[in-house]
Structure 1
Amino acid sequence: MLPVDALPPPLSRVGVFDLETTGVDVESDRVVTAHVGVLDLHGREIAARDWLADPGIAIPAEATAVHGVTTERARRDGRPAREVVSEVTASLRSLLAQGVPVVAYNASFDFSLLANEAMRLGVEPLVDPAPVIDPLVIDKAYDRYRPGKRTLAVVAEHYSVPLESAHEAAADAVAAGRVAQALALRFPLPASLADLHVRQIGWARSQAESLTEYFISIGRLDPEQTLDGSWPVRRADPSS
């Protein structure tokens, strides 16, 4: 349970969002499962919906190893991808229209892949969703020099947020929301959601620039390459 009196009002009710997919390419991979929910000021989930899609392509074994969904299961039990993408997009659009911030860990992955899926399937995409809260971007901004990985599992443990069934969309979404609330208790975040959203745009850009420099220094990127720091929806291929 979170200490209610200390939680800033903008984060007393937050949406949470996560996708599990066929891979990590936001331009070509597909949605397999999705979760959209709402957390109250205690970090309890008070509304939730899950989706299982038939992505229309085979799910690689590497992806199945992460989230557990096989091609056979998706084809048997999954709904058409267009229906799933349309409903997930509509659910997020509704929350954002109400001024409810949507938390997504590494938001530029989930929102970018969803937008590309929407465009591919003829669904109106969320081009510039706001307000969005990305615990990964915020954690890096306020605790930049902490050593170690920044996966959701590692960061959740650091902020004493339980995470069971990692890489299951509902578990990851709820944990990300609780990490966002924990960050708001730990650090002096901007007072308004609009300010926090704008700050994250700048932080994400700076973090991508710093990581680009590091990757070039170790030979992982060529000097003319850059990582795309667009947030919360990527505008270009991040490897270009």
Structure 2
Amino acid sequence: MTWHTGRLCGFDLETTGVDVETDRIVTACVVQCGGKHPTQSATWLADPGIEIPEGAAAVHGITTERARAEGRPAAEVVEQVVAALAQAVRDGVPLVIMNAAFDLTMLDREARRHGVQPLTEIAGDQLRVVDPSVLDRQYDRYRKGSRTLEALCAHYKVALDGAHSADADAIAACRVAWRLGRQYRQIGTATVEDLHGAQIKWAHDLAVDRADYFRRTPGKEQQAATVRTDWPLIPHQREGAEQ
């Protein structure tokens, strides 16, 4: 059985913003699907403990008022999400995460903020991630147009019901990963261990190319410094450590 025809664990977050160091988790989903077993999905709504900006609420539909009224304590949510993902890793199920470096880094920082053992410390070298964004950019590098999850779903003819909700995005990412495994033999026949290692290099090289593009594009030069080459997670730096 190839990895994409077996069990997959999709993971997605909706957050208060896009800064992984300071923003917070609002909703989360961990879904297991495929492998000829029923789909199992768990979702969480957290009270992030800070205001949810109007712009973020407009994307995912969760206001500060709703999060405070209906959300569970952030520490509890983070602990349970980490536990669900850690169990998938222990079971040998690859994690499918669109733009993994964002979601895994956000989860890592929230875990540290709330005194929860980070997933990377639990999983160690057993962590295996499949990132549709990295795979798509590597194997169809020169395709024009958007590379958002919605765009990938349209391109690979995958249903996306309720974009920008964590549960819909998590299952859609798994469907796109499955399509990529079917469409590109090199992806589908690779072991998940080899694929994980390859994505580390591909993500680095793609980020270097993106930074080079910014440097040579008038008006975008300063954006080059914001591009990170780390994948699937931006390493945590201890407070006071050299940046």
What is the TM-score of this pair, normalised by structure 2? 0.90
Letter in 2 for 1:195: D
The question of 1:164 aligning with 2:158 is answered no
Identity within the alignment, %: 47
Query: What pairs with 1:76-115 in structure 2 (closer than 5 Å)?
Result: 76-115=69-108
Q: What does residue range 26-37 of structure 1 map to in structure 2 within 5 Å?
A: 26-37=20-31
Query: 1:228–1:236: 8 Å Cα contact kept in structure 2?
Result: no
Deviating more after overlay: 119-128 vs 190-199: 119-128
Paired with 1:225 and 1:79, the residues of 2 have a C-alpha distance of 37
The DSSP-based 3-state class of the residue aligned with 1:225 is helix
Provide the residue aligned with 1:47 in structure 2.
40
* Alignment-mate amino acid for residue 25 of structure 2: V
Asked if the contact 1:86–1:118 (Cα under 8 Å) also holds between the matched residues in 2, the reply is: yes
8 Å Cα contact 1:36/1:50 also seen in 2: yes
CA RMSD of aligned residues (A): 1.9
- Are residues 1:185 and 2:182 paired? yes
Question: What is the correspondence of 1:67-146 to structure 2 with a 5 Å cutoff?
Answer: 67-127=60-120, 130-146=127-143
Tell me what 1:204 maps to: 203
Distance 1:45 1:116 in 2: 32
Q: Distance in 2 between matches of 1:24 and 1:45?
A: 33
1:138 partner SS: helix
Question: Counting helix residues as a fraction of each chain, which structure ranks higher?
Answer: 2
In 1, are the aligned partners of 2:46 and 2:74 still within 8 Å (CA)? yes
Inter-CA distance 174–223: structure 2 relative to 1 (3 Å threshold): closer
* Structure 2 CA distance for aligned equivalents of residues 158 and 134 of structure 1: 16
User: 1:97, CA displacement in angstroms?
Assistant: 1.2
Q: SS state of the match for residue 118, structure 1?
A: helix
3-state SS of the aligned residue for 2:120? coil
TM superposition shift of 1:222: 3.5
- Residues 29 and 183 from structure 1, CA distance in 2 versus in 1: closer, same or farther, beyond 3 angstroms? same
**2:9 aligned partner:** 15
Instruction: Give the counterpart letter for 2:87 in structure 1.
Output: S
For the Cα contact (< 8 Å) 2:9–2:94, is it kept in 1? Answer: yes
Q: What is the CA-CA distance between 1:45 and the residue it aligns to?
A: 5.8
Count of aligned pairs between the two proteins: 230
Structure 1 residue 236 displacement after superposition: 6.9
Query: Helix, strand or coil: the match of 1:57?
Result: coil
Secondary structure of residue in 1 paired with 2:163? coil
In 1, are the aligned partners of 2:52 and 2:64 still within 8 Å (CA)?
Answer: yes
Instruction: Find runs of 4+ consecutive structure 1 residues off by over 3 angstroms.
Output: 221-224
Cα distance in 2 for residues equivalent to 1:57 and 1:24: 14
| 8 A contact 1:103–1:134 mirrored in 2 | yes
Question: How big is the shift at 1:40?
Answer: 1.0
